[in-house]
Chains A and B, each alone.
Chain A
Amino acid sequence: MDGGIPRPDWLDIGRLEDIPRQGARVVVTRRGDVAVFRTLDDAVFALEDRCPHKGGPLSQGIVHGTAVTCPLHNWVIDLATGEAVAPDRGCAGRIGVKLEEGRLLLRPDPESEP
């Protein structure tokens, strides 16, 4: 990043089972917390853990379908895009995450999403 040892593209952050279905866990990074979500059918998504509305921790919201509802004021955020669902407007930054052989791999820089 800043001239030192090049960082690996994807960081191993744990197993799929470490996150409850319809739930989320937080990954602490230098750029702030990242919320990693697991849906009912085991799809995984990652977003900055800040609601575009008032910064609420999205990781603590109720996960339904491929959306999460922010615990502070019930904004609904689309996990795939990070966009707030109409009529609300705003976007939580997307982070690259993927599942390989049961391991969760994260690309923590928002710019480097796949």
Chain B
Amino acid sequence: MNALSPARRLVVIGNGMAGMRTVEEVLKRAPGFWDITVFGAEPHVNYDRILLSSVLAGEKDLDAIVIHPREWYESNRIRLFAGDPVVAIDRAARTVTSRSGRAEAYDALLLATGSRPIVPAIPGLELTGSCAFRDIGDVETMIAASRHYGRAVVIGGGLLGLEAANGLAKRGMSVAVVHLMDTLMERQLDAEAGKLLQRELDERGISFFMTGQTEAILGADRVEGVRLADGREVPGDLVVFAIGIRPNADLARLAGLDLNRGILVGDDMRTSDPRIFAVGECVEHRGKTYGLVAPLWEMAKVCADHLVGDADTVSDYNGTVLATRLKVTGIDLFSAGDFQGDETTDEVLFRDPARNIYKKLVLRDDRLIGAVLFGDVRDGGWYFQLLREARPLAALRDTVIFGQAFAGAAADPDAVVRAMPETAEICGCNGVCKGQILAAIAANGLATLEGVRAHTKASSSCGSCTPLVEQLLTLALGGAYGKSAGEEPMCGCTGLGHDAVRREILAQRLQTIPEVLRALGWATGDGCHSCRPALNYYLLCAWPGTYRDDAQSRFVNERMHANIQKDGTYSVIPRMWGGQTSAAELRAIADVVDRYQIPSVKITGGQRIDLLGVRKEQLPAVWRDLNAAGMVSGHAYGKALRTVKTCVGSEWCRFGTQDSTAMGIALERMTWGSWHPHKVKLAVSGCPRNCAEATIKDFGVVAVESGWELHVGGNGGIKVRATDFLCKVATDAEVLEYCAAFLQLYREEARYLERTAPWLERVGLDHVRQRVVEDAASRQALQQRFLYAQRFTQDDPWAERAAAPPAVYRPLAIVE
């Protein structure tokens, strides 16, 4: 061990991303080696500051950006004092003192005090309604202002300022940006890309005051706008300063450490006091200060090496090459390295103004040293890799501007990632290498980008490595990945599409809705009315028999087992097997109508009887009486098997070729109670005259002299679609087998709220034929899964609820 042993008290000043990443790296190397105490100025646990833009833009909750919850501190025995900043360091006594007076002794001290927003010394700063864009408090100020006021002025047209402007605009404010220079983001973009960006933001309703130096904030009590040095005035009810940051080195100055702009550190991250380390935005290393996340991670690793490592294995920090992405949804922008160039460099340019695409690569000595991409950033990760490798481009130079897919790798777009060594770093932000990602994919059966993000953190910060991570997924999974690329997200709570979520549920064996939300990084705490019913169905389908249905994630009709009507009453439809009824059933229904004074009785399109206008509190009694006459729920309210419609068939009809009513009853007995992505209707006709209209049903059966024709994917609703002919079978048993297999395939593959008709058009009839007709083993396996699932669903929900009516059917209280 190094000179710091044997005493082991590590005090960390700063509970932010750099400090806690260093602690994480220390724990990774030598858990329990240090006794760790953390002081933070903000009253929060460590959160992802980068994602404050997403919170401001309403794309994420505050909960969703927490990196280390309280349990992390507890389980690693870290003492956290949040909201109690350190105010003094006594280097001689080796103690720190916090604002509340707490004194802690240290053997090693880590300064991770971050940076402070720069606020110009101008009149009007004392007015309410101005803030910076740095922490949760600032974001809360902005969100509150956006609720009550209409106009915002953002001072600063850099990365942070534009993200603030975009967020405020998305919250409904009209936003003006004041920028000192004549190009936006001039530290990351050349003039041409800057102009393209300005045009794009302009089209989103953000206005710009370029070459504007803010001279004063105007207003009496609350801000009313700003005045610029050239006399222009910009009105606004909120003023946000985002003109830059400077290292927060106040404590270090008080403690007498060497500093310049930031706290001076060597390649070992030590300050001028060998017991004191510093990482993050507060440091100055080889004359440079950093304000992006990637350097923080590299510093954290080096610092951790020196805090726990042997003298001969430790690494040195050599500075970081930076890549930038703007987190403004819908604007694609990437820059890395030295993108301005000089007289010793060459430029390779690509312009497609009509499509708003601009790419510039900067080369020196045949090596890529910088890149700016606007409008098409797919190759950002590849260019960044070339830039860091710094190898001569040679023949690649001819085509490098057209991107990786074209540049010789055209035959195999994954060649580059395949060729990378296992130790190649993929995610610079989080320090994740290729081997770790592939191992996580294999160990956890990951199949999506979100899965990789959740398990490795790769691609979860700036996102610039997303294409590389996706290529690794392709490498690991082959064609199975990318199938769903381009699929729309399920809802605003997630970036994942339906198919991806279903794959992850199976791959990660996720068993409950809260587990899914956690494992797949849902942006909201408990989902929404759109994703929760879908997830409930997917889990039910994936784990029949073990999944506990979540009533609170069911649409009201499925929760109440009745159909809500426009006046808030319900309709009740008893099941009539195959559309057949009897005098006893009709008499019982008539009695129920009289007894409960049900206002309306109607024959439905699916050959059932509908009792309309039943009040919620009457439902259990109505069901009890119908149950007593042998009738069960018709599931006319669910994303479920609804009805099997039949004609009278050969028993009575002079044209009938088969007993269609008996077949309908058999099908309904097999399928009733099954849950589906959407409602499912069946029909059986006894001859090709097709009186049961089987060719506009999800699964239609038409009798012919020699057997049964099976038809699938019909719909008589908004968009009429006649069925596709699936195949012809000879026996009754085959009808049941094919029907079960078809329905199970639909249950497993369709997206929630997708009827069989659009599903069939999406996946193609050939696919369904292959699985249900041609491949007998597949058909039988599907049938077995269907029948297995049915073992758990064929209990009459009415009988259960009539026997012991849940409280939800009654009022909680009646007050006079």
- Once the chains are docked, how many angstroms separate the CA of A103 from the CA of B564? 30
Verify if B480 is at the interface (C-beta below 8 Å from A).
no
Report A81 CB to chain B, min CB distance, Å: 10
- Once the chains are docked, how many angstroms separate the CA of A61 from the CA of B811? 15
Known A23-B552, A69-B529, A71-B564; contact A64-B524, beta-carbon cutoff 8 A: yes
Question: How many A-B contacts if CB must be within 8 Å?
Answer: 93
Near B by CB (< 8 A), chain A positions 14-51 give 14, 18-23, 25-30, 33, 36, 40-41
Verify if B808 is at the interface (C-beta below 8 Å from A).
yes
Verify if A110 is at the interface (C-beta below 8 Å from B).
no
- Once the chains are docked, how many angstroms separate the CA of A63 from the CA of B808? 15
User: Which stretch from B343-351, B553-561, B776-784 is at the chain A interface?
Assistant: B553-561
Report A3 CB to chain B, min CB distance, Å: 15
Is A11 a contact partner of B525 (Cβ separation < 8 A)?
A: no
Enumerate chain B residues within 8 angstroms of A76, measured Cβ to Cβ: 529
Is A18 a contact partner of B815 (Cβ separation < 8 A)?
A: no
The bracket for how many chain A residues form the interface is 35 or more
Report B54 CB to chain A, min CB distance, Å: 17
Enumerate chain A residues within 8 angstroms of B815, measured Cβ to Cβ: 11, 13, 27-30, 106, 108
Is B811 a contact partner of A64 (Cβ separation < 8 A)?
A: no
Enumerate chain B residues within 8 angstroms of A108, measured Cβ to Cβ: 815
Report A41 CB to chain B, min CB distance, Å: 8
Verify if A91 is at the interface (C-beta below 8 Å from B).
no
Verify if B483 is at the interface (C-beta below 8 Å from A).
no
**Which one of A28, A30, A64 has the highest number of Cβ atoms from chain B below 10 Å of its Cβ?**
A64
- Once the chains are docked, how many angstroms separate the CA of A38 from the CA of B529? 16
Known A69-B529, A72-B566; contact A27-B552, beta-carbon cutoff 8 A: no
- Digitize B777-816: 1 where CB-to-A-CB distance is under 8 Å, 0 elsewhere: 0000000000000000000000000000001100111111
Is A13 a contact partner of B813 (Cβ separation < 8 A)?
A: yes
Minimal Cβ-Cβ distance residue in B for A71: B556
Is B552 a contact partner of A21 (Cβ separation < 8 A)?
A: yes
Is B529 a contact partner of A74 (Cβ separation < 8 A)?
A: yes
Is A62 a contact partner of B532 (Cβ separation < 8 A)?
A: yes
- Once the chains are docked, how many angstroms separate the CA of A26 from the CA of B392? 73
Verify if B620 is at the interface (C-beta below 8 Å from A).
no
Report B687 CB to chain A, min CB distance, Å: 42
Report A90 CB to chain B, min CB distance, Å: 17
Is A19 a contact partner of B812 (Cβ separation < 8 A)?
A: yes
Near A by CB (< 8 A), chain B positions 317-355 give none
- Once the chains are docked, how many angstroms separate the CA of A51 from the CA of B465? 45
Verify if B551 is at the interface (C-beta below 8 Å from A).
yes
Is B812 a contact partner of A18 (Cβ separation < 8 A)?
A: yes
Minimal Cβ-Cβ distance residue in A for B529: A69
Enumerate chain A residues within 8 angstroms of B807, measured Cβ to Cβ: 18, 25
Enumerate chain A residues within 8 angstroms of B813, measured Cβ to Cβ: 11, 13-14, 27-28, 106
Is A22 a contact partner of B812 (Cβ separation < 8 A)?
A: no
Is A25 a contact partner of B555 (Cβ separation < 8 A)?
A: no
Verify if B613 is at the interface (C-beta below 8 Å from A).
no
B526, B533, B568: the one contacting A57 at CB < 8 Å is B568
Enumerate chain B residues within 8 angstroms of A13, measured Cβ to Cβ: 812-813, 815
Is B556 a contact partner of A20 (Cβ separation < 8 A)?
A: no
Verify if B229 is at the interface (C-beta below 8 Å from A).
no
Verify if B485 is at the interface (C-beta below 8 Å from A).
no
Enumerate chain B residues within 8 angstroms of A74, measured Cβ to Cβ: 529
Enumerate chain A residues within 8 angstroms of B555, measured Cβ to Cβ: 62, 71
Report A33 CB to chain B, min CB distance, Å: 8
Is A65 a contact partner of B525 (Cβ separation < 8 A)?
A: yes
Enumerate chain A residues within 8 angstroms of B554, measured Cβ to Cβ: 62
Minimal Cβ-Cβ distance residue in B for A38: B552
- Once the chains are docked, how many angstroms separate the CA of A54 from the CA of B565? 12
Report A36 CB to chain B, min CB distance, Å: 6
Minimal Cβ-Cβ distance residue in B for A56: B568
A21, A28, A64: the one contacting B527 at CB < 8 Å is A64
Report B812 CB to chain A, min CB distance, Å: 4
Is A64 a contact partner of B568 (Cβ separation < 8 A)?
A: no
B524, B556, B808, B812: the one contacting A61 at CB < 8 Å is B556
- Once the chains are docked, how many angstroms separate the CA of A11 from the CA of B815? 8
Known A20-B808, A27-B814; contact A54-B566, beta-carbon cutoff 8 A: yes
Report B531 CB to chain A, min CB distance, Å: 9
Is B525 a contact partner of A28 (Cβ separation < 8 A)?
A: no
Verify if B629 is at the interface (C-beta below 8 Å from A).
no
- Once the chains are docked, how many angstroms separate the CA of A7 from the CA of B488? 54
B529, B566, B812: the one contacting A62 at CB < 8 Å is B529
Enumerate chain B residues within 8 angstroms of A63, measured Cβ to Cβ: 552
Known A14-B813, A20-B808, A26-B812; contact A62-B553, beta-carbon cutoff 8 A: yes
Is B529 a contact partner of A65 (Cβ separation < 8 A)?
A: no
Minimal Cβ-Cβ distance residue in B for A30: B816
Report A37 CB to chain B, min CB distance, Å: 11
Verify if B7 is at the interface (C-beta below 8 Å from A).
no
Known A69-B528, A71-B564; contact A62-B552, beta-carbon cutoff 8 A: yes
Is B524 a contact partner of A60 (Cβ separation < 8 A)?
A: no
Minimal Cβ-Cβ distance residue in A for B552: A22
B172, B533, B556, B812: the one contacting A36 at CB < 8 Å is B812
Minimal Cβ-Cβ distance residue in A for B812: A25
Minimal Cβ-Cβ distance residue in A for B550: A22
Is B524 a contact partner of A65 (Cβ separation < 8 A)?
A: yes
B525, B551, B557, B564: the one contacting A40 at CB < 8 Å is B525
- Once the chains are docked, how many angstroms separate the CA of A96 from the CA of B559? 27
Enumerate chain B residues within 8 angstroms of A23, measured Cβ to Cβ: 551-552, 808
Enumerate chain B residues within 8 angstroms of A21, measured Cβ to Cβ: 552
**Which one of A23, A62, A72, A106 has the highest number of Cβ atoms from chain B below 10 Å of its Cβ?**
A62
B527, B532, B560, B567: the one contacting A60 at CB < 8 Å is B560
- Once the chains are docked, how many angstroms separate the CA of A11 from the CA of B813? 10
Report A96 CB to chain B, min CB distance, Å: 13
- Once the chains are docked, how many angstroms separate the CA of A23 from the CA of B529? 12
- Once the chains are docked, how many angstroms separate the CA of A35 from the CA of B527? 21
Is B529 a contact partner of A22 (Cβ separation < 8 A)?
A: no
Known A22-B552, A60-B556, A71-B564; contact A28-B529, beta-carbon cutoff 8 A: no
Enumerate chain A residues within 8 angstroms of B560, measured Cβ to Cβ: 60
Report B813 CB to chain A, min CB distance, Å: 4
Near A by CB (< 8 A), chain B positions 528-559 give 528-529, 532-533, 551-557, 559
Is B564 a contact partner of A65 (Cβ separation < 8 A)?
A: no
Is A25 a contact partner of B811 (Cβ separation < 8 A)?
A: yes
- Once the chains are docked, how many angstroms separate the CA of A104 from the CA of B815? 13
Near A by CB (< 8 A), chain B positions 552-593 give 552-557, 559-560, 564, 566-568
Report B536 CB to chain A, min CB distance, Å: 10
Report B365 CB to chain A, min CB distance, Å: 55
- Once the chains are docked, how many angstroms separate the CA of A75 from the CA of B528? 12
Enumerate chain A residues within 8 angstroms of B527, measured Cβ to Cβ: 64
Known A11-B815, A29-B815, A65-B526; contact A55-B808, beta-carbon cutoff 8 A: no
Minimal Cβ-Cβ distance residue in A for B814: A28
- Once the chains are docked, how many angstroms separate the CA of A113 from the CA of B771? 61
Minimal Cβ-Cβ distance residue in B for A18: B812
A14, A30, A40, A69: the one contacting B812 at CB < 8 Å is A14
B172, B524, B551: the one contacting A20 at CB < 8 Å is B551
Enumerate chain B residues within 8 angstroms of A11, measured Cβ to Cβ: 813, 815
Enumerate chain A residues within 8 angstroms of B551, measured Cβ to Cβ: 20, 23
- Once the chains are docked, how many angstroms separate the CA of A56 from the CA of B526? 23
- Digitize B596-629: 1 where CB-to-A-CB distance is under 8 Å, 0 elsewhere: 0000000000000000000000000000000000
Instruction: Give 6 A-B contacts (CB < 8 Å), ordered by A residue.
Output: A14-B812, A19-B812, A23-B808, A62-B552, A62-B555, A104-B812
- A residues lining the B interface (CB < 8 Å): 11, 13-14, 18-23, 25-30, 33, 36, 40-41, 54-57, 60-65, 69, 71-72, 74, 76, 86, 104, 106, 108
Q: Known pairs A63-B552, A64-B528. 9 more at Cβ < 8 A?
A: A13-B815, A26-B811, A41-B525, A60-B556, A65-B524, A65-B528, A72-B564, A74-B529, A86-B172
- B residues lining the A interface (CB < 8 Å): 172, 524-529, 532-533, 551-557, 559-560, 564, 566-568, 807-808, 811-816
The 10 closest A-B pairs by CB, nearest first: A69-B529, A25-B812, A22-B552, A13-B813, A71-B556, A62-B529, A60-B556, A57-B568, A28-B814, A40-B526
